[in-house]
Chains A and B, each alone.
Chain A
Amino acid sequence: MNFVKMMNWGKENTIISIAILLLLIGIISNIYVHATKSITSDDFIEIDGKKLSVNEIFSTYESKTIQNTITKENYTGVSLEDIIKLAGIKNPEAYSYTIIGSDGYRKTVKWEDIESGILTKSLRVVFEDLPKAYMVRDVVKIEVIG
């Protein structure tokens, strides 16, 4: 027996109520996201509490080109390993790193991934062996995870 054919107004009201609830969740989430959005600058990237100038990063180190093994696309930028070392992280291989974009999107990667990763001029991180979901855009912060 088809359930929907047995639907009465009450069940239709339930569907409408669920839709309104989801609508409210979406609206409240948008308000929350905008209210908690931190002001960031395109000029600096914060690494473990230390602010590094983007200009300094790109003027200090030469860019290199890597190919992502999954998308097969080539990307050019400064080695993430160099940037981490520039931030003065001691024993960098002992940590994991959470890369955070200006929209709050974040991905945590291991040191081995950092070694094969780059930061492009558009401030996007790219790794040789990780999928696109790891290519955080508009990077504003890198947290060092013990």
Chain B
Amino acid sequence: MNRRELAGILLFGSVWGMLECILGDFLRDQNFPAGAIMTGLVAVAVMSYTRIVFRKRGMQLGMAMIAGLLRLTNPFTGCLICSAISIVSEGIIFEAVWHKIFDLKEFRRPATIASMGMITSYLCYVGGFIVTQVLTPIVSLAGFNPSDLIVFLPQILARGLPAGILGIFSILAIDRMRSYDISKLKSRLYYPVTVSLSAVCWILTIANSLLVG
């Protein structure tokens, strides 16, 4: 991983984490299906965009860890371990699904690109949900009860549907945005932009926590 990619991880991980903290919380407060929206629109868009423009395996997991860290360590909303676990799980699942995929151009049919959005988003949402349900009780020392998860599994599979559908729109939009390639910026501009935008994301997240509570 070179410096340019590391800066990309910091920037896009921070953007993702900020949106999880601000937009995600807002959607939850409004009783919208925040998990499905955040996975289908934000997580899939940010991860697939960076995979297409940087063409680097492992970046998306790094971004998920930054986003999870922002969610976990945000000092003004307290530790949100479930969300952090879910975000990192999404990064791992994305890496698994896209293991041999670096660009959507390699697909000839738009239906295949749309299908990648469905598969990525559905699996990220469902997988993230399941991993969270298993790991949160273990991490919090409350004890994992498998029957709680098994009985709720149909609900999880059902809730993945809107996330999967949103993922289709998300990935089709990203495919059209490939010309806006941040990785091609000259170094003298790229590093100041990535570092300062990342700082803005962290500051906005903390300011939002202080103002909104």
Contact = CB atoms under 8 A, between A and B. Distances in A.
A28 B118 CA distance: 16
B155 A7 contact: no
B27 interface: no
Interface in A84-106: 98, 103-106
A107 B160 contact: no
B118 A19 contact: yes
B187 interface: no
B158 to A, nearest CB: 4
B148 A108 contact: yes
A29 B107 CA distance: 30
B152 A2 contact: no
A41 B137 CA distance: 29
B78 A32 contact: no
Contacts of A44: none
Interface in B118-168: 118-119, 122-123, 132-133, 136-137, 140, 142-143, 145, 147-148, 151-152, 154-155, 157-158, 160-161, 164
Given A29-B157, A33-B154, A4 B101 contact: yes
Nearest to A9: B108
Number of chain B interface residues as a range: 35 or more
B79 interface: yes
Interface residues of A, number: 43
Contacts of B118: 19, 22-23
Interface of A: 2-5, 7, 9, 12, 15-16, 18-20, 22-23, 25-27, 29-30, 32-33, 36, 68, 70-73, 98, 103-110, 113, 129-134
Given A29-B155, A30-B158, A104-B155, 15 more contacts: A2-B102, A3-B100, A4-B100, A7-B106, A12-B109, A15-B107, A18-B119, A26-B122, A26-B164, A33-B154, A68-B78, A71-B77, A98-B147, A103-B155, A133-B136
Interface of B: 77-82, 100-103, 106-109, 111-112, 114-116, 118-119, 122-123, 132-133, 136-137, 140, 142-143, 145, 147-148, 151-152, 154-155, 157-158, 160-161, 164
20 contacts: A3-B100, A4-B102, A16-B109, A16-B112, A18-B119, A19-B114, A19-B115, A19-B119, A22-B160, A25-B160, A70-B78, A71-B78, A71-B80, A98-B147, A107-B148, A110-B142, A110-B143, A131-B140, A133-B133, A134-B142
